Amino acid sequence: MNALTLLAGVDEVGRGPLAGPVVTAAVILSPDDPMLGKYRDSKRVSEKKRLKQYHHIRRHALSYAVAQANLEEIEHLNILHATMLSMRRCVEALPLQPNQVLVDGNRVPDMPYHVQAVIGGDDSVQEIAAASIVAKVVRDRLMRYLDYQYPAYHFAQHKGYGTKAHLDALREFGPCPVHRMGFSPVAKAAQQRKNTHV
């Protein structure tokens, strides 16, 4: 296939949560994919449909890859730069290298490709929408695994986002090793817990 046709869509999941890694995916779709035109932003798709599409993408995509930035990288680099690092990793990990990369949002990572930011791309560019599906399924699985390790925080339910239940658990138990201490609600909960146990 002509390399000019190899367009990779890139998206992230997990910039906003208070815990866990940020996960990114890059996907190069096949022009023969029967689902073309039907992919949507993962947030607009039910969990059941998302999982079905995830398996479909894995079977039918010309190429896909997943990467992440871990807690230490998020704390050291900040969440934006950690996300850019993870995006670069997933594109570099593609078995087929694209000659054009479209990234959801308004910022792009530094990489040796023709790369362009697309605001709202996860609902307007099929490759980005497919990447959002893959990244969401993978990160949700990671958060369910962390739920087994730290059941007090109910990560399987809220995936690390700052819901009332999550904030209540933070106040009651303090942060656990996978919480992002650089995020204000986590730092505040840690300080409050420290003050009550002086």
| Tokens 């399924």 belong to residue | 137
Bridge pairing between strands 100-104 and 114-118: parallel
The fraction of the chain above a pLDDT of 90, given in percent, is: 90
As to burial, measured by CB atoms within 10 angstroms (0-12 exposed, 13-18 middle, 19+ buried), residue 23 is buried
What does the pLDDT look like over 74-125, one tens digit per residue?
999 999 999 999 999 999 999 999 999 999 999 999 998 999 999 999 989 9
Domain ranges for the chain, please list them: 3-147, 149-193
pLDDT-based confidence at residue 192 (cuts at 50, 70, 90): confident
For the domain spanning 3-147, the CATH number is 3.30.420.10
pLDDT-based confidence at residue 191 (cuts at 50, 70, 90): confident
Contact by Cβ (8 Å): 40, 11: no
Mean pLDDT score, 169-173: 93
Mean pLDDT score, 126-148: 97
Higher pLDDT, 4 or 186: 186
pLDDT greater than 70 at residue 4: no
Mean pLDDT of the chain: 94
**Res 196: pLDDT:** 72
pLDDT greater than 60 at residue 180: yes
pLDDT greater than 70 at residue 198: no
